[in-house]
Amino acid sequence: MPILKTSPSTTQTMRTTNTGGKLKLLMKLYTGQDMKMVDKKAIETGIPSIVLMENAGRSIADDLLKRWPTTKNVVILCGNGNNGGDGYVAARHLKESGLDVTIFETDNKLTNASKDTQAARTSARAHRIPFRNIATFLSGPMPSTDVFVDSLLGSGLSRPLEGQLAEIVIKINTTDQPVLSVDIPTGVGADQAQPLGVHVRATRTVQLAGAKLASALFPARAAFGEISTVPIGIPNDVLHRYSTTDLVTRQYIQDNAPRRLRSGHKYSAGTVLVIGGSTQYSGAAELAARSALRAGSGLVSVLAEDPQAATWPDIIRYKWKSSKVLAQQVASIKNAKSHARVIGPGLDSKLANQVPSILALDKTPTVLDAGALQPGHELSKATKRHGACVLTPHLGEASFLLGSDISEIIDDPVGAASEMAKEYSAVLVLKGATTVIASPKERIAISTFGHPGMATAGTGDVLAGLLGAWLATSTDPFISSSAAVGMHGITGEIAGNEKGVGMIASDLVESLPTSRQKLHMIGFAR
């Protein structure tokens, strides 16, 4: 799994917003079109494009030397676009640092290249760096080097590689030496979850100015290897203007997790009602309830078919009276007047048609998970009227809700999540190895936290409870949902590192307090 780092070098892609009087720190993700606009506007502010290229090339060289400090030889593969220009500049800086550098170029005339790329090439030649035609790379043995640099194509790619470029990539993927890609691995589209075809499998990728959307989306992000993001001199206000997608970081979670007042009580900590738990799946509702408690909820109740199956004494239990009058029963339960509801974990299909009636009771923020999503398009009328729902489909459920092929959702999870958020007028949490959170107002957040051990029954129920707990004290369902998804993933990493692939959902619940401690979240506000 690639390492998405939040470090001083990435602060240029962050912004602060003021929500509820508190500053929130956000790291942005960019599509190829976003970056075109960023470059264009930066140049319009008076920054020469050649300065941006110079900064990029220097940052690439610095990153390579820091990552592989004993490097003596470098081979750089340069295309004829600005990505290649960055490679020419990096070559010059590496040469000045005492390394032996060889450049293989796809176009030694640079007929269609920008003036900046032509100038970068001329400067590299002036430093007596050996230049070779790419044909010799293809026809000869693999060059002997410590590190290869992929500077062939940048973030503007929109179609599969073919011809000579495809052959170059196929050959570079056979090397045992590290491969550092400039901005994005050649063959990967900046905003595509799926690589476009043949693509470089990088050891490390140095992203320029801002993190690319594809670097956070599976399966494309596997191509990036390790990831660093470096500034190239673009002003923050320009960067912040051209992305609607946030990357959920540890700082994001810290800033947006609920805090308890020292003078607070169980009701001020938020109350949650979980509705679900058929006889066959009684454990699902209990997992959600336990998760809500461990996530900080002050009081949690469960309305289930067999509430006695719940083993925790901390949970208040209610039994379904009748599947036909579930909504009326919810309205009559004193503790049902909760700050948030979670409907769906273990919910029997015969009760799914009651979900719209429950939503019609009031505007209590509600998480709809698993069985609660079964009404499908019939649900959209209810969620639109309600206006404060969070839907949590996995790929199969999303396919049902959208009426689309799963493959289409895998190809464009951000587009799918956005479409569902608008269709249902709700915050949409599209679960997966990368989880996409979307709001009806076109806000997007992406969480890459997680562990392979989380691929086990019940982890979705744990997420539903966590979402409910944080929703109960939130004024912004999108922000609280995004932070909760990140916390769920980090907790999975902690539990997974201890239990391995043998972890179960209960391990996740019990790791929630630990994950908050590891994030230095004491959980109290003055």
In this model, does residue 493 exceed pLDDT 70?
yes
Mean pLDDT of the region 99-128: 92
Residue 523 has a pLDDT of 47
Confidence tier at 84 by pLDDT (50, 70, 90):
very high
Q: What is the pLDDT of residues 450-461, one digit of tens each?
A: 999 999 999 999
In this model, does residue 2 exceed pLDDT 60?
no
CATH topology for 8-241? Rossmann fold (3.40.50)
Mean of the per-residue pLDDT values of the chain? 89
Question: pTM to 2 decimals?
Answer: 0.88
CATH topology for 251-525? UDP-N-acetylmuramoyl-L-alanine:D-glutamate ligase (3.40.1190)
Confidence tier at 521 by pLDDT (50, 70, 90):
low
* Cα gap 525→166, rounded to integer Å: 56
- Out of 62-66, 88-92, 415-419, 513-517, least confident range: 513-517
More confident residue, 63 or 155: 63
In this model, does residue 397 exceed pLDDT 70?
yes
Where b means 16+ CB within 10 Å and e means fewer, 352-387 reads bebbbebbebeebbbbbbbbbbbbeeebbebbeebe
Rg (CA), the chain: 26
Residue 461 has a pLDDT of 98
Where b means 16+ CB within 10 Å and e means fewer, 24-57 reads bbbbbbbbbebbeebbebbeeeebebbebbbbbb
> Angle at CA 304, nearest 5°, toward 302 and 306?
120
Structure tokens, 37? 């606009």
* Cα gap 379→375, rounded to integer Å: 5
Residue 309 has a pLDDT of 60
DSSP H stretches of helix in 49-162: 49-67, 82-96, 115-126, 134-139
In this model, does residue 115 exceed pLDDT 60?
yes
More confident residue, 289 or 22: 289
Beta bridge partners of 17: 24
Q: What percent of the chain has pLDDT over 70?
A: 91
Confidence tier at 103 by pLDDT (50, 70, 90):
very high
In this model, does residue 429 exceed pLDDT 50?
yes
- For CATH 3.40.50.10260, the residue range(s) in the chain are 8-241
* Cα gap 392→229, rounded to integer Å: 30
Q: What is the pLDDT of residues 327-368, one digit of tens each?
A: 888 888 765 568 999 999 999 887 888 899 999 999 999 999
Are residues 466 and 257 in contact, defined by beta-carbon separation less than 8 angstroms? no
- For CATH 3.40.1190.20, the residue range(s) in the chain are 251-525
* Cα gap 297→50, rounded to integer Å: 54
Q: How buried is 309 (Cβ within 10 angstroms: 0-12 exposed, 13-18 middle, 19+ buried)?
A: middle
